[in-house]
Amino acid sequence: MARILIIDDEPIIRDVLKDILEREGCEIVAASDGKDGIKIHQENPADLIITDLIMPEKEGIETIMELRRDSQDVKIIAMSGGGKIDPNTYLQIAKTVGAVETLAKPFDLKKLLKTVQEVLE
């Protein structure tokens, strides 16, 4: 059973992802920002981290960079609905700094499950 850490500042996104991935047999932990997500991962490392990019406290690009610095092997999926710029720009930056896959919000749940499965293989 894969342990997945979901980092997103929107409770509804965290809850939906948690429900879907738990139904697939995954163990899910969640954090509302990058700062808490990094702390959780340091205390009990996840097999996969799914992180939003636009968040208060510690945003996703900075979170990915710090996770990569401390855990080179961690698998990271970045997701974004955009902000001041197009989500694809944020997602490309996320890939450049260490995300192995990206998802533009809103995304199809089948695409989410397929992406998670591929990254965990």
Q: Which domain holds residue 9?
A: 3-120
Mean pLDDT of the chain: 94
Cβ atoms of 20 and 113 within 8 Å: the answer is: yes
Say what the pTM is: 0.95
Q: How many structural domains is the chain composed of?
A: 1
d(C-alpha 11, C-alpha 23), whole Å: 18
Tokens of 68: 């990569």
Residues 6+ apart with CB under 8 A from 100: 75, 76, 77, 119
Task: Give the model's pLDDT for residue 86.
Answer: 74
Instruction: Please give the pLDDT value at position 83.
Output: 67
> Rg for the chain (alpha carbons), in Å?
13
- 29-86 pLDDT, tens per residue? 999 999 999 999 999 999 999 999 999 889 999 999 999 999 889 999 999 987 667 7
**Which two structure tokens, joined as six digits, stand for 86?**
């197009």
Q: What CATH number is attached to the domain comprising 80?
A: 3.40.50.2300
Convert the pLDDT of each residue in 20-31 to its tens digit: 999 999 999 999
